[in-house]
Amino acid sequence: SRLILATRNAGKITELRAILADAGLPHDLVGADAYPDIPDVRETGVTFAENALLKAHALAQATGLPAVADDSGLCVDVLNGAPGIFSARWAGTHGDDRANLDLLLAQLSDIDDAHRGARFTCAAALATPDGTERVVEGHLNGTLRHTPAGTGGFGYDPILQPEGETRTCAELTPAEKNAISHRGKAFRALVPVVRELLG
Ligand code: ITT
């Protein structure tokens, strides 16, 4: 049976396919790009969980198929949790990863190493066409580098060094990142829920 991945972010799609396949989820995973006529949902929620549910419900309603969605972002301690749910458009243009990262580094230029704590959060939501919903969260704690390193992953990966690591997320292999990431944790927790509700 088919399960919609309610995201248009290519980095997320790549990671989700690997995470869900590794977890043994038997469903055919169909990206939202297979439905180009369905408009993007307005992310009007004030939490990651609310926005993930909005995206999952929108795709489930529009396709008549169950859908999972990811809302995620980087929460920086000295910025009181910003960029948070605004991570994808921190510098103004939605999805301009390089501009977002450069602006964040500029905002933190005076902050010393002891005060550069941050965490990635991912809310993973499941919605079915009958309106059933579930949502779980995962986190990855770390510190922010002063300069980007690495070419893997996407978004803020080149500046986030996970706790206990000497490399940034962008220097990890995809499997290493998925094993510890906010997204890996959230979607591995969602898999038994998907199995229970969808069979
Ligand atoms: P969809 O809504 O279509 O899923 P999006 O990119 O708009 O795609 P979000 O609103 O959830 O998704 O924004 C997520 C942003 O948070 C993303 O653009 C990155 O800047 C950042 N982010 C999330 N997960 C990340 C990760 O694993 N590594 C680095 N940055 C990440």
Q: Domain containing 154 — which CATH number?
A: 3.90.950.10
What strands lie across the sheet with 67-76, from one edge to the other? 28-31, 2-5, 67-76, 117-127, 133-144, 160-162
Question: What is the Cα–Cα distance from 63 to 189, expressed in whole angstroms?
Answer: 24
Q: Tens digit of pLDDT for each residue in 130-182?
A: 999 999 999 999 999 999 999 999 999 999 999 999 999 999 999 999 999 99
| The pLDDT value given to residue 147 | 98
Range of the domain at 122: 2-198
Based on the structure, what is the number of domains in the chain? 1
* Ligand 1 midpoint to CA 86 (Å): 9
Question: What is the Cα–Cα distance from 144 to 131, expressed in whole angstroms?
Answer: 39
8 A C-beta contact, residue 168 and residue 147: no
| The pLDDT value given to residue 84 | 98
| The pLDDT value given to residue 199 | 82
Tokens of 48: 């990651």
Does 5 contact ligand 1 (Cβ within 6 A)? Answer: no
Q: Write down the pTM of the prediction.
A: 0.98
Does 120 contact ligand 1 (Cβ within 6 A)? Answer: yes
Q: Tens digit of pLDDT for each residue in 16-72?
A: 999 999 999 999 999 999 999 999 999 999 999 999 999 999 999 999 999 999 999
pLDDT at residue 109 above 90? yes
* Atom of ligand 1 minimally distant from the CA of 9: 8
Q: Which residues participate in catalysis according to the annotation?
A: 71
